[in-house]
Structure formats: C-alpha cells, structure tokens
C-alpha cells in the first residue's frame, strides 16, 4: 500500500559508524501475528513467503559526526528486528524495524538520542570476539555477547565455520543483509534513514548457543517464535557504514 511522501526532508550524511563482529540469529515468524507492532506505512517483508525476525548483536567501534570523531569507546549492542517494506512512488524500499534495541552504556543512549531522537534501552552487555579481521582465511571467527536479565545470566555465542559467498544468490542470508533503510518511531512519527555500506564478509555457523530470557527483553509475544530452532545463523565482519539524516514519513 502506497503512503504519502515525507513531510520534511534533510539531505546529507548524519553520521559515519564502524560496525563489526556481527552475530545474527534469524527466526521464522507468523507475519499476521506481528502486524500490530508495525506503524502504518510499513508491511512485513517475506522471503519465499516466509517472514523473519532477527536477534542481532554487534560492536560499534567508531562514530564520526561531520569531521569530528565522537570520543566514545567501542560498545556492544543487542536488538530484535523485523524486515519491512515501504512503497514510495511505486517503488519498494526494503528496511529494518527494531522492536527493541539495547546499548551497553547510558552515555551511548544519550548520543543516540542526540543524533536520532531515539531512546535505546540501557543494559550492561559484554562482548568477546576473535578472528573477524584475520588475513588467514583458515581462521574462523567467534562471537559471544553476555548480559543479565532478571538477575539471570544470558548469552548468545556463535563460532563460524566457513566463508559464505552470498553475492547475488537468492538466499535467506542475502535477504537478511540486503536492507538499507532503517525505521523507528520518534514522538509518534515514523522516521526513515538510509544506510550505505559495502557487502559484508559472512561466515556460516559451526556451533552456537542461545540462552536468552526473551520475555524480559522483548515481551511475551516473542517467546514462542524465538524458542524455535533458528532458520539460519551466521556471523558478519561488518564495515564502515554511512547513515543519512532521518526524515519524517508519517
């Protein structure tokens, strides 16, 4: 369904970031059960008639605003996101919509609010990773993200197996990675911003563990779908990412 175009447009780059050590667990969901989570103007995107939600954990190593590198140490984040579409002038824009996003420090949340007028939740997250930036292709990466929910330890951990050559193949992994618009709510308004980055090197999973209090983090509605076996699990190296200024779309 087509929606009205932006009320307000500001062009240009807002911030440059470096995302790295990315871990993705992708779960099949019933799109009709989660339509109510989406604001008007967005619909859930599907791969071969299947919809997905992803638990994503990663580290941000650098944020640059204009020519100024923000004085922040690298920080991990964790989120649950849907894959969505929005039709503008007859063309489909593919994007992600976060159900909830966590960052590891209050100072990081303050910076996010300043840049995007969004308010991520704050939770102490520890990240342990290796092998993502080795020159030897025989060295496999691994990533582990840990935190506490309801005073109980939680973690996601994945060890890579082999490099995945996604290219133009029509795969679940390409479906998950091939989204360049980000959507979020700001004061009852739907915001859209465009992100640019080169293709990411990715690895399939040799092993992994998923010990997460889903209800505490994301709500009861997500317990059942995230209890299922993940449809796909993989790691991505990440890269520098250029994020354009958000615009109001509703």
User: What is the pLDDT, as a whole number, of residue 64?
Assistant: 93
Distance, in Å, from the CA atom of 166 to the CA atom of 178, rounded to the nearest integer, reads 11
User: What is the pLDDT, as a whole number, of residue 1?
Assistant: 40
User: What is the pLDDT, as a whole number, of residue 167?
Assistant: 61
User: What is the pLDDT, as a whole number, of residue 186?
Assistant: 87
Domain segments of the chain: what residues? 13-248
44 close to 34: Cβ distance less than 8 angstroms: yes
- Phi and psi for 224 in degrees, rounded to 5? -65, -50
75 close to 124: Cβ distance less than 8 angstroms: no
**Residue 199: CA atoms inside 13 Å, Cβ hemisphere, count?**
12
User: What is the pLDDT, as a whole number, of residue 168?
Assistant: 57
- Please report, in tens digits, the pLDDT of each residue of the chain (250 residues total): 444 443 333 458 999 999 999 999 999 999 988 988 999 999 999 999 999 999 999 999 999 998 888 888 899 999 999 999 999 999 999 999 999 999 999 999 999 999 998 889 999 999 999 999 998 888 999 999 999 998 999 999 999 998 887 665 778 888 888 889 999 988 889 999 999 999 899 999 999 899 999 999 999 999 999 999 999 999 999 999 999 999 998 6
Evaluate if pTM is beyond 0.85.
Answer: yes
**Residue in the structure block whose two tokens are 């990663």:** 58
Beta-carbon contacts of residue 1 (< 8 Å; ≥ 6 apart): 41, 43, 87
Architecture of domain 13-248: Beta Barrel (2.40)
Alpha helices in 1-77 (DSSP H): 31-34
User: What is the pLDDT, as a whole number, of residue 4?
Assistant: 40
Angle at CA of residue 146, ends 200 and 26, nearest 5° = 45
28 close to 52: Cβ distance less than 8 angstroms: yes
Distance, in Å, from the CA atom of 102 to the CA atom of 150, rounded to the nearest integer, reads 15
CA distance readout (Å), 201 to 20, 35, 238: 11, 32, 7
């Amino acid at each position: 369904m087509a929606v009205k175009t932006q009320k307000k447009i500001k062009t240009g780059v807002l911030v440059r970031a470096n995302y790295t050590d990315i871990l993705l667990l992708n779960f099949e969901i019933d799109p009709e059960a989660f339509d109510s989570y989406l604001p008007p103007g967005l619909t859930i995107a599907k791969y071969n008639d299947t919809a997905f939600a992803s638990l994503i954990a990663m580290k941000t190593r650098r944020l640059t605003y204009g020519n100024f590198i923000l004085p922040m140490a690298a920080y991990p984040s964790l989120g649950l996101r849907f894959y969505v579409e929005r039709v503008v002038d007859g063309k489909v824009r593919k994007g992600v919509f976060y159900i909830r996003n966590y960052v590891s420090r209050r100072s990081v949340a303050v910076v996010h609010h300043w840049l995007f007028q969004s308010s991520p939740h704050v939770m102490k997250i520890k990240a342990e990773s290796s092998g993502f930036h080795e020159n030897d292709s025989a060295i496999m990466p691994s990533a582990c993200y840990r935190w506490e929910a309801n005073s109980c330890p939680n973690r996601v951990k994945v060890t890579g197996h082999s490099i995945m050559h996604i290219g133009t193949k029509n795969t679940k992994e390409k479906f998950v990675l091939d989204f360049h618009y980000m959507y979020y709510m700001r004061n009852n308004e739907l915001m859209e911003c465009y992100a640019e980055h080169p293709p990411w090197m990715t690895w399939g999973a040799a092993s992994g563990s998923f010990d997460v209090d889903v209800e505490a983090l994301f709500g009861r509605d997500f317990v059942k779908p995230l209890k299922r076996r993940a449809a796909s699990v993989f790691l991505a190296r990440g890269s520098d990412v250029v994020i354009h200024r958000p615009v109001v779309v509703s």
